[in-house]
Amino acid sequence: DAGVIQSPRHEVTEMGQEVTLRCKPISGHNSLFWYRQTMMRGLELLIYFNNNVPIDDSGMPEDRFSAKMPNASFSTLKIQPSEPRDSAVYFCASRPGEAEKLFFGSGTQLSVL
Amino acid sequence: SQKIEQNSEALNIQEGKTATLTCNYTNYSPAYLQWYRQDPGRGPVFLLLIRENEKEKRKERLKVTFDTTLKQSLFHITASQPADSATYLCALAPDDYKLSFGAGTTVTVRA
């Protein structure tokens, strides 16, 4: 099993540009999470999907952030327009069921200049 | 408000010694608590899960305790090795899905 796959691994963009982060969860997992990690705030949950349906997006910082899960094997997190304060490592994680461990991807290091 | 607090400082220990990490929480009533390991440039990796009705869990050189009265979990690495050097995160959820993480404790094991 390849694990959770995220792309790109690194993204450098200029303020105001649109950024799209991609995630392929582990096959058979029915829950998908997007987290953001910074030194100041640690790991923050942005949004959670269950069976491809967004269940809780209360962690999404503002309307500039949006996430989709069109099918069980793909999710995107989009930032439009991006700002320097969005610079962070964005992790995608999946799990097979409730009360189970999370499997994290390697993350996307985002730098907004 | 809900809080998860881990050892505020990095932990430096000599190889062979036991590292003890603390996770305290407030305003949660978790059904379980999890511990993860994170290496630089990598995503967190699951280590152990302990449920509210379990006092202790072991996995190889790792031991976790869970005291719901004290609202505390202790994570022990026995016979530590330089390869154990990493950041360790505790995580818990007020419900079944919204897993929240502590800030982590960075452990450095000196040879």
Question: Is the Cβ–Cβ distance between B55 and B65 less than 8 Å?
Answer: yes
Question: What pLDDT, on the 0 to 100 scale, is given for residue A1?
Answer: 65
Question: What pLDDT, on the 0 to 100 scale, is given for residue A97?
Answer: 80
Mean of per-residue pLDDT scores for chain A: 94
**Residues of chain B positioned with their CB less than 8 A from the CB of A42:** 101-104
Q: Is A23 helix (H, G, I), strand (E, B) or coil?
A: strand
Q: In chain A, helix, strand, coil percent, each to 5?
A: 5, 55, 40
Average pLDDT over every residue of A9-32 = 96
Per-residue pLDDT of chain B (111 residues), as tens digits, is 778 999 867 999 999 999 999 999 998 888 889 999 999 999 999 999 998 889 899 999 999 999 989 999 999 999 999 999 999 999 987 666 778 899 999 999 999
* Residue owning tokens 């440039």: B41
Residue A91 has pLDDT above 70, yes or no: yes
Residues A15-25 have pLDDT tens digits of 999 999 999 99
Question: What pLDDT, on the 0 to 100 scale, is given for residue B2?
Answer: 79
Put simply, the answer to whether A98 touches B102 (Cβ < 8 Å) is: no
Residues 59-88 of A with CB under 8 A from B: none
Phi (first) and psi of residue A84, to 5 degrees: -55, -35
Question: What pLDDT, on the 0 to 100 scale, is given for residue B21?
Answer: 97
Question: What pLDDT, on the 0 to 100 scale, is given for residue B96?
Answer: 63
Interface test with B, best of A43, A44, A45, A53 (most B CBs within 10 A): A43
